[in-house]
Amino acid sequence: MPLSYSDGTVSEHMACRSSAVVFDVSHLGTLQLQGEEVFSLLQEQLSNDLNKISLGRTQYTHLLDDEDASVLDDIIVWWVDEDSFYVIPNASNTEIVQQAIGGTDTTLDRALIAVQGPRAREIVAVVSPEAAAVAKFHVVPFTFHGEPCFSAGTGYTGEDGVECHVPASVANRFFNEVMAAGAVPAGLGARDTLRLEAGLPLHGHELKRGVTPPEANLDWVVGYKKSHFRGREAVESRKARGLRYRLFGIRALGRQPLRDGSAVFLAGRSVGNLTSGNYSPVLQTGIGLALLEPALTDGLEVEVEIRGRRVPALICKYPFIP
Amino acid sequence: MELPSELRYTKDHEWVSIEGNHAKVGITDYAQDALGDIVFVQLPTLDGSVSAGESFAEVESTKSVSDIYAPVPGRVIEINSELVDSPELLNTSPYERGWICVLEMSDPAAAGELLTADSYLGLIS
């Protein structure tokens, strides 16, 4: 996936907010798991509780470090058939997820194509009415030029849309047909500004070694009702000892893009660092996510240090857009 | 790509328009295209003195930030405040509405060191 296509990041971003874009997100991993034992295996190895969903649904979940509950990867699980799951890790974490849960790495056999935006379903319906009709957080099979595919009502932009798993042999055709039906191709640059405006975490930034789910406001991803799972004692112990930081939104008063790693100051004192930062094309201000002292609250005026200069900003709630 | 022959250029992808001892400065079409969507400009300090090659402004796109270097020594006598709210002018009109500032040259001879359109073209092709 390129950083941007010919229209540029801001225009691709706005196309997703007002119409629809198509991303080739085939770089994500896919592990295919099949068998009676898979449900219990995923329940044991991943944080979220599959009892909250059922066949034909998807779930956001984490792989935790058993020692300290660091988020080693954030993952989407598609429950596609009886005893059959697609587990979708971040590209660079596919190997450690596979070490934990096994499965067959089918990443190179398929493409993942995301169509996102208020017009996404209307556009996908031109290519496949079945794919377009999938409900939010559900996954359904469909056929494209005779090939078996899946469509999930998921995404990473804060907009409605679908993500389609299609065999590599028909991937170009699918992408081109979606584009011909009216979706604007969008690159990695827009994918990052869109997910940031939507307040969605990115592994390696908000989620990484040293950050547990509750510290990233993602305690709901931990299935505490399960009898046991990897990292359980560690995450409970972290909560009992107190969170070290908490994830907050930061909104600059001006247009300057905020940047990952920048220190955040409250009344002259450093209270944490940005984990992501950029420019919000919708708000036309700098925005970012930051791991800050947990007792801070929304609305506080802070300063963000960018290349030696401090720019005024507010701690705020995220998502940054409605 | 546009490369007006009446302008002078630097290896850091600024253009310079010389009129008397005034030098108007911007970034080239090639530079704006490489940077992508420009969303913020840190303008030079009005009335500030700069030496040639000194970083005196910044332009930021969604993907990166780039320093703008003073092409000639001098004093900043005018800045393009329109860029504060409309930094995208650097993309849409790099040689006209996207100008960054005007320098009053302290050493007009320094302009002789700047590149012609042809030499700059040789540098980027």
Instruction: For the sheet with B22-27, list strands across it.
Output: B8-9, B14-19, B22-27, B101-105, B74-79, B49-50
Chosen from A1, A5, A10, A278 to mutate, greatest number of chain B CBs within 10 A: A10
> Is A202 part of a structural domain of the chain?
no
* Nearest residue of chain B to residue A5 (CA atoms): B36
Residues A110 and A249 in one domain: no
* Nearest residue of chain A to residue B87 (CA atoms): A255
Question: Which among A196, A231, A256 is the end of a domain?
Answer: A196
Check CB contact under 8 Å for B87 and A307.
Answer: no
Distance from CA of A94 to the nearest CA of B (A): 26
At B9, which helix (H) or strand (E)? strand B8-9
Of the candidates B37, B58, B65, the beta carbon closest to that of A9 is on: B37
Residue spans of alpha helices (H) in B1-125:
29-35, 82-85, 89-92, 117-124
Q: Any chain B CB within 8 A of the CB of A276?
A: no
Check CB contact under 8 Å for B62 and A278.
Answer: yes
Q: Radius of gyration over alpha carbons of chain B, in Å?
A: 13
Check CB contact under 8 Å for B62 and A193.
Answer: yes
Q: What is the DSSP string of B26-44?
A: EE-HHHHHHH-SEEEEEPP
Q: At residue B21, does pLDDT exceed 90?
A: yes
> Is A254 part of a structural domain of the chain?
yes
Mean pLDDT, residues A181-197: 98
Non-local (6+) Cβ contacts of A220 within 8 A are none
Non-local (6+) Cβ contacts of A134 within 8 A are A140, A151, A152, A153, A162
Check CB contact under 8 Å for B60 and A257.
Answer: yes
pLDDT of residue A126: 98
Q: At residue A7, does pLDDT exceed 90?
A: no
Domains identified in chain A, total number: 2
> Is A3 part of a structural domain of the chain?
no
Check CB contact under 8 Å for B87 and A189.
Answer: no
Instruction: For the sheet with A147-152, list strands across it.
Output: A139-144, A147-152, A161-167, A110-116, A21-24, A184-185
Q: At residue A6, does pLDDT exceed 90?
A: no
Mean pLDDT, residues A273-294: 98
pLDDT of residue A80: 98
* First and final C-alpha spacing in chain B: 11
**Diameter of chain A measured on Cα atoms:** 63
CB pairs A-B closer than 8 Å: 46
Cβ atoms of A165 and B12 within 8 Å: the answer is no
Residues A35 and A137 in one domain: yes
Cβ atoms of B98 and B15 within 8 Å: the answer is no
> Is A227 part of a structural domain of the chain?
yes
- Tens digit of pLDDT for each residue in A269-279? 999 999 999 99
Chosen from B45, B63, B85 to mutate, greatest number of chain A CBs within 10 A: B63
Enumerate the β-bridge partners of residue A79.
A85
pLDDT of residue B30: 97
Mean pLDDT, residues B50-72: 95
Of the candidates B39, B65, B91, the beta carbon closest to that of A255 is on: B39
Dihedral angle at the C-alpha atoms of A179, A19, A135, A45, nearest 10 degrees? 80
Tell me how far apart the alpha carbons of residues B51 and B42 are, in angstroms, rounded to a whole number.
18
**Nearest CA-CA partner of A61 in A81, A40, A88:** A88
Distance from CA of A279 to the nearest CA of B (A): 6
CA atoms within 13 A on the CB side of A180: 8
DSSP 8-state code for residue B115: B
The band of A95, judged by pLDDT with boundaries at 50, 70 and 90, is: very high
SS3 content of chain B, % helix, strand, coil (to 5): 25, 35, 40
Distance from CA of B31 to the nearest CA of A (A): 14
What percent of chain A is modeled with pLDDT above 70?
100
Q: Any chain A CB within 8 A of the CB of B92?
A: no
Distance from CA of B76 to the nearest CA of A (A): 20
| Domains of chain B by residue range | 8-124
Fold of B8-124: OB fold (Dihydrolipoamide Acetyltransferase, E2P) (2.40.50)
Mean pLDDT, residues A73-100: 97
Tell me how far apart the alpha carbons of residues B106 and B73 are, in angstroms, rounded to a whole number.
6
Check CB contact under 8 Å for A8 and B42.
Answer: no
Least confident of A65-74, A115-124, B107-116: B107-116
Enumerate the β-bridge partners of residue B75.
B49, B104
Check CB contact under 8 Å for A255 and B40.
Answer: yes
Mean pLDDT, residues A151-157: 98
The band of B63, judged by pLDDT with boundaries at 50, 70 and 90, is: confident
Enumerate the β-bridge partners of residue A311.
A304
Q: Any chain B CB within 8 A of the CB of A11?
A: yes
Q: How many other C-beta atoms can be found within 10 angstroms of the C-beta atom of residue A295?
A: 8
Question: Which long-range contacts does A125-131 make (Cβ < 8 Å, 24+ apart)?
Answer: A126/A177, A126/A181, A126/A182, A127/A174, A127/A177, A127/A178, A127/A181, A131/A162, A131/A164
Tell me how far apart the alpha carbons of residues B125 and B120 are, in angstroms, rounded to a whole number.
9
> Is A113 part of a structural domain of the chain?
yes
> Is A278 part of a structural domain of the chain?
yes
pLDDT of residue A180: 98
Q: What is the CATH number of the domain that holds A166?
A: 3.30.1360.120
Hey, is A215 helix, strand or coil? Answer: helix
Q: What is the ipTM of this complex?
A: 0.87
- Tens digit of pLDDT for each residue in A213-247? 999 999 999 999 999 999 999 999 999 999 999 99
Tell me how far apart the alpha carbons of residues A309 and A299 are, in angstroms, rounded to a whole number.
22
Residues A37 and A175 in one domain: yes
Distance from CA of B40 to the nearest CA of A (A): 5
Residues A154 and A26 in one domain: yes
> Is A120 part of a structural domain of the chain?
yes
Residues in chain B: 125
* Nearest residue of chain B to residue A193 (CA atoms): B62
Q: At residue A254, does pLDDT exceed 90?
A: yes
The mean pLDDT of chain A is 97
> Is A39 part of a structural domain of the chain?
yes
Residue B79 sits at the vertex; the CA angle it makes with B116 and B72, to the nearest 5 degrees, is 35
User: What range does the domain containing A75 cover?
Assistant: 9-196
Cβ atoms of A16 and A194 within 8 Å: the answer is yes
